[in-house]
């Protein structure tokens, strides 16, 4: 594959990025793309190609909790013979909008930092070591965009981690595909729920933070129907025409209802914008009780 990048600051006004990649079908509708070329080709060649396949291709986006849950799984009782050692963690600071590199030898410390300092995890470089044999089984990194880097180790452990990356992606895909569709700017019984551990919608400033997160999502727009006493926003994705209604019904829950032709890719992009700029919550399917918006106002 070859891609030409045109920029005025480059010699001759362009440069070519080229490399080779392989695509393997793991399971039904699950594929993995692999390249042995450098990171320049990976980021500017392969990843750009995959982005251009949208909405026919959806990346398995991960949040901080899902990344750490994957790593913690190797320290559970049934896998107590393994040690996970973080080498470098790249956080993103929501307030200052900057990357922070952090070296830590503890997963618990990473959890503490992202939960208490308004950060989210963007990437973790780590090693997985067999305690019994004192042998590195996996050395590499995992990113929230679902990509993995494999430096050294046993290829079977890479396959195991790849499968673990697909698990939360499959769950969120199932939630999206089983949700009700909405063409009437209203709540439906079966919606998508983004649930937070702590209150996130208690003040007017919280609503403004959510609006700012939506505003920063590329090629999109939104319209606020209600700001108080309940939150109702209509979100539109110019990239593929997807539409969603977003409701804030209590201080810990954002509900999302896709329109009929909305795509999973668009949903993931919108969700990632909210997770990065506003806050990370767990995505669940949810069945509302039978009530109207008049009940919410009361």
How far CA 230 is from CA of 63, 94, 210, 247, in Å, comes to: 27, 25, 14, 7
- 155-178 vs 264-277: helix axis angle to the nearest 10? 100
The pair of three-digit structure tokens given for residue 159, joined into one six-digit string: 């396959």
| Chain-centroid distance, C-alpha 109 | 21
Distance separating alpha carbons of residues 168 and 177, to the nearest angstrom: 14
**Nearest partner of 191 among 254, 272, 271, judged by Cα:** 254
Higher confidence at residue 80 or residue 64? 64
Name, of 44-48, 73-77, 94-98, the range with top average pLDDT.
Answer: 44-48
What is the model's pLDDT at position 182? 74
What is the model's pLDDT at position 77? 65
Q: Residue 285: how many CB atoms within 10 A of its CB?
A: 16
Distance separating alpha carbons of residues 5 and 16, to the nearest angstrom: 6
Distance separating alpha carbons of residues 83 and 79, to the nearest angstrom: 9
- What is the mean predicted confidence (pLDDT) over 180-202? 83
First to last CA, the chain: 59
Distance separating alpha carbons of residues 283 and 227, to the nearest angstrom: 23
Distance separating alpha carbons of residues 4 and 13, to the nearest angstrom: 10
The pair of three-digit structure tokens given for residue 192, joined into one six-digit string: 């998508």
Q: Residue 198: how many CB atoms within 10 A of its CB?
A: 10
The alpha helices in 144-221, defined as continuous H runs, are: 155-178, 204-215
Q: Which secondary structure element, helix H or strand E, spans residue 266, and what is its range? A: helix 264-277
Helix, strand, coil percent content, the chain, rounded in steps of 5: 35, 35, 30
What is the model's pLDDT at position 55? 76
Residue-wise pLDDT tens digits, 97-115:
778 888 877 999 999 999 9
Buried b / exposed e across 100-133, counting CB within 10 Å, b at 16+? eebebeebeebeebbeeeebbbbbbbbbbbeeee
| Chain-centroid distance, C-alpha 195 | 15
- What is the mean predicted confidence (pLDDT) over 262-269? 93
- Is the separation of the CB atoms in 74 and 84 below 8 Å? yes
Could you tell me the pTM of the whole model?
Answer: 0.88
Q: How confident is the model at residue 298 (pLDDT cuts 50, 70, 90)?
A: very low
- Is the separation of the CB atoms in 141 and 148 below 8 Å? yes
What is the model's pLDDT at position 54? 77
Environment class of 180 (CB within 10 Å of its CB; exposed 0-12, middle 13-18, buried 19+): middle
Q: Residue 193: how many CB atoms within 10 A of its CB?
A: 21
- Is the separation of the CB atoms in 100 and 114 below 8 Å? no
What is the model's pLDDT at position 285? 84
- 264-277 vs 204-215: helix axis angle to the nearest 10? 130
Residue-wise pLDDT tens digits, 27-62:
877 889 999 999 999 999 999 888 888 777 888 899
Ordered structural domains, the chain, with CATH = 2-52 (no CATH), 64-171 (no CATH), 179-297 (3.30.310)
- What is the mean predicted confidence (pLDDT) over 172-180? 90
């Amino acid at each position: 594959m070859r891609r030409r990048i045109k920029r005025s600051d480059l010699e001759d006004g362009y440069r070519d990025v080229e490399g080779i990649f392989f695509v393997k079908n793991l399971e039904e509708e699950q594929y993995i793309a692999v390249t042995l070329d450098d990171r320049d080709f990976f980021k500017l060649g392969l990843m750009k190609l995959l982005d251009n396949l949208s909405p026919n291709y959806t990346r398995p986006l991960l949040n901080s909790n899902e990344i750490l849950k994957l790593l913690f799984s190797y320290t559970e009782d049934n896998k107590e013979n393994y040690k996970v050692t973080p080498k470098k963690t790249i956080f993103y600071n929501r307030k200052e909008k900057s990357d922070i590199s952090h070296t830590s030898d503890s997963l618990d410390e990473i959890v503490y930092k992202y939960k208490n300092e308004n950060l989210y995890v963007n990437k973790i470089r780590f090693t997985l070591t067999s305690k019994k044999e004192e042998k590195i089984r996996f050395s590499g990194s995992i990113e929230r965009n679902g990509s993995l880097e494999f430096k050294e180790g046993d290829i079977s452990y890479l396959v195991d981690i790849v499968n673990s990356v697909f698990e939360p992606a499959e769950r969120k895909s199932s939630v999206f595909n089983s949700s009700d569709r909405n063409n009437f700017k209203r709540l439906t019984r079966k919606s998508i729920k983004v649930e937070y551990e702590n209150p996130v919608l208690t003040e007017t400033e919280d609503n403004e933070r959510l609006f700012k997160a939506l505003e920063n999502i590329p090629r999109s727009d939104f319209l606020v129907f209600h700001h108080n006493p309940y939150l109702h926003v209509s979100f539109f994705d110019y990239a593929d025409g997807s539409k969603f209604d977003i409701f804030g019904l209590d201080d810990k829950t954002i509900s999302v209802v896709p329109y009929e032709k909305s795509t999973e890719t668009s949903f993931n992009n919108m969700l990632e914008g909210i997770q990065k700029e506003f806050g990370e919550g767990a995505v669940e399917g949810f069945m509302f009780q039978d009530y109207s918006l008049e009940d919410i106002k009361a």
